[in-house]
Amino acid sequence: MRCRPLPISAAPVPDELLSGWLSRLAASNHCEVADLLTHIGIDAKYAAALDHDIDRLAADRISAAARIDPRLVPSMTFAAMPEAQMRLTAQVPFQNCPNCADGGLELRHWRRAWAFDCQICGDRLLSKADRKNGAAVSEKLVDRARRGARVLERIAMSGSACQLRRAMRAVTFAMGLKALRGDPFFTLQSPRPNIRLFCLAAIAAAQSRPLVKAALCSMDIDVYARVALLRAYEKEPRLLATVDQIAQRMRLRVGPSTNSSHI
């Protein structure tokens, strides 16, 4: 099927995400994305899925209608990637850059759970809820979370299953402390202020002697820390037993008055 090119084209910017660019393209042509896709012969109900799975025919139709290089369309999507990266890549926007998101711009890297600062302007990426709360987040937590995000990126790129497991265990532990349940990969994409930062900070904390840190948290038998430990290690009873042993040894060594260490 050949369709007439759209009256107005819009050049994609580097790292732009396909769905965001389609929105800009539709707005430039004074229509909705659904109308634009229908016009070029693509079922509009799959609009959001195009970012993750686009076939050659759809890519060709889009590039012909928008009069852009056909190779650009697939480069704006998330091509096949290793499972860890896939699980750390959000299906829906959860953060963006307050500086660069004007005009509906949406960049690919903003969807990554490890993305922390905007690659274009360097500002910290924020969720909508973050923006509302402004300065409510402590700088210390932000710094720790940024460190955790760097660790997470390194792990995602390395493909190390062992390191990924350790990082996700830290996230599960942090979730336990916040009395949250669910998928740790998904929690890292949380738009709720502090939840994502707290979980990223936990990844940074777990890089140095994670068992000892976990044991320190459990030393005053704070009920939340204990529940969190159980959740983090529920599938690894041997690890939990080791944590308990370390905690016991430390309790004997330093006495019962030591405060717990928080992430």
Q: Is 97 in the site for Zn ion (CB under 5 A)?
A: yes
Cβ atoms 51, 78 nearer than 8 A:
yes
Report the residue number, 97 or 197, with the smaller CB distance to Zn ion.
97
To Zn ion, the closest distance from the beta carbon of 9 in angstroms equals 24
Report the residue number, 119 or 261, with the smaller CB distance to Zn ion.
119
Partnered with residue 140 across adjacent β-strands are none
Q: Is 120 in the site for Zn ion (CB under 5 A)?
A: yes
Q: Which residue from 90, 100, 180, 228 is in contact with Zn ion, where contact means CB under 5 A? A: 100
Report the residue number, 97 or 216, with the smaller CB distance to Zn ion.
97
Q: Is 103 in the site for Zn ion (CB under 5 A)?
A: no
- H, E, C per residue of 197-239: HHHHHHHHHCCCCHHHHHHHHHCCCCHHHHHHHHHHCCCCHHH
Q: Is 99 in the site for Zn ion (CB under 5 A)?
A: yes
Q: Is 248 in the site for Zn ion (CB under 5 A)?
A: no
Q: Which stretch binds Zn ion (CB under 5 A): 52-60, 97-105, 161-169, 184-192?
A: 97-105
Cβ atoms 22, 47 nearer than 8 A:
yes
The torsion of the CA quartet 182, 188, 193, 194, rounded to 10 degrees, works out to 90
Report the residue number, 32 or 117, with the smaller CB distance to Zn ion.
117
Q: Is 107 in the site for Zn ion (CB under 5 A)?
A: no
Q: Which stretch binds Zn ion (CB under 5 A): 51-59, 94-102, 143-151, 206-214?
A: 94-102
Q: Which residues contact 23 (CB under 8 A, 6 or more apart)?
A: 33, 104, 106
Q: Is 118 in the site for Zn ion (CB under 5 A)?
A: yes
Q: Closest Cα partner for 92 from 38, 24, 20?
A: 20
List of residues contacting Zn ion (CB under 5 A)? 97, 99-100, 118, 120-121
